[in-house]
Amino acid sequence: MTQYVILVQYGNGDADIGFDAGAPGGIVAIGPRLPRCTSEPNPATDPTADVYRYVTQYIHDPPTPQLNPKPGDGVTGLDTYIGVPVPADHTARLTSGSTTLDIFIEVSAVIVEWGDGTIDSYPATSTALAGYPDGFATHVYDQKAETGVNLSVSYDWTARWRIVGGAWQFLAVPNTTTDVNYPVSEIVSVLTD
């Protein structure tokens, strides 16, 4: 129960308010007439949920790897190059209720599971993932797999946010992944007379 009471309410909704301290002397009038409230309270917002919704709507399509040799032409003992375009870093400012938020999203690494048990993580740069002949994202298969290995390429997303001027908080978001069936042949040398 509040100790504030309405002393007089006017036709337009304005009111004179008093305070009842429960002490001798009764109710004490407070200040000038108060105007009627003309706005509704804002519903409670959850900045983390608003940021997560924004980030998951922003996240790009899965990677589109370019392989050299292309699928079907892989050979044991030779370098297989992978080229992957990487989305640019993204910044945004978002309003969540009455709070303003900064958001930063990036691909922090590109993870390649070569399908033979080897997993490599590459920096998300055009230099590393340039493909043949200049990129350094390469792998040499030791064994043939004529029906193909399941080569998997993932963007490792990093998202962070903060209330403007506050400390950054990281938001866990799932990787986006592309799977490629990659057959690997074997070349066998034969000596003849």
Asked whether residue 9 is assigned to any structural domain, the reply reads yes
Q: Do 52 and 28 reside in the same domain of the chain? A: no
State the total domains in the chain: 2
Residues 63 and 138 in one domain: yes
Inter-residue contact 176 to 84 (CB < 8 Å): no
Tokens of residue 153, six digits? 């390429």
62 and 96 within one domain: yes
pLDDT band, very low/low/confident/very high, at 41 (cuts 50, 70, 90): low
- Domain presence at residue 85: yes
Q: Is residue 40 part of a domain?
A: no
Q: How confident is the model over 76-132, as pLDDT tens digits?
A: 999 999 999 999 999 999 988 888 999 999 999 999 999 999 999 999 998 899 999
pLDDT at 188 over 80: no
* Helices assigned H by DSSP within 20-168: 47-58
- Considering the domain architecture, whether residues 60 and 154 belong to the same structural domain is answered as yes
> What is the phi-psi region of residue 64: left when phi exceeds 0, alpha when psi lies from -120 to 50, beta otherwise?
beta
How far apart CA 89 and CA 123 sit, in angstroms, is: 13
Q: Are 47 and 162 in contact (CB under 8 A)?
A: no
Residue 191 lies in a domain: no
The parent domain of residue 168 ranges over: 47-185
Is residue 61 domain-shared with residue 29, that is, in the same domain?
no
User: Looking at the structure, do residues 85 and 179 belong to the same domain, yes or no?
Assistant: yes
Average pLDDT in the chain:
89
State the CB neighbour count (10 A cutoff) for residue 125.
13
Q: Are 49 and 95 in contact (CB under 8 A)?
A: no
The per-residue pLDDT for 43 is 65
With respect to residue 192, please indicate whether it lies within any of the assigned structural domains: no
Same domain, 160 and 73: yes
Q: Does residue 131 form part of some domain?
A: yes
Do 83 and 12 belong to one domain?
no
pLDDT confidence band for 189 (50 / 70 / 90): low
DSSP lists the bridge partners of residue 113 as 119, 152
Contact between 161 and 101 (Cβ < 8 Å): yes
Contact 40, 150 (CB under 8 A): no
Hey, which of 6-20, 50-64, 168-182 has the most confident mean pLDDT? 168-182
Residues 84 and 139 in one domain: yes
Q: Is residue 39 part of a domain?
A: no
Residue 18 predicted with pLDDT over 70: yes
- Dmax (CA) of the chain: 124
Q: 138: pLDDT confidence band, cut at 50, 70 and 90?
A: very high
Confidence of residue 33 (pLDDT cuts 50, 70, 90): confident
Q: Tell me, yes or no, whether 108 and 22 share the same domain.
A: no
Is-contact 171 48, C-beta < 8 A?
A: yes
Assess whether 98 and 136 both reside in one domain: yes
**How many helices and strands, by DSSP H and E, does the chain display?**
1, 13
Q: Could you tell me if 23 and 51 lie in one domain?
A: no
Q: Answer whether residue 162 is part of any domain.
A: yes
What is the arithmetic mean of pLDDT over 143-156? 95
The predicted structure's pLDDT at residue 34: 81
Work out the end-to-end distance of the chain between its first and last CA atoms, rounded to an integer number of angstroms.
107
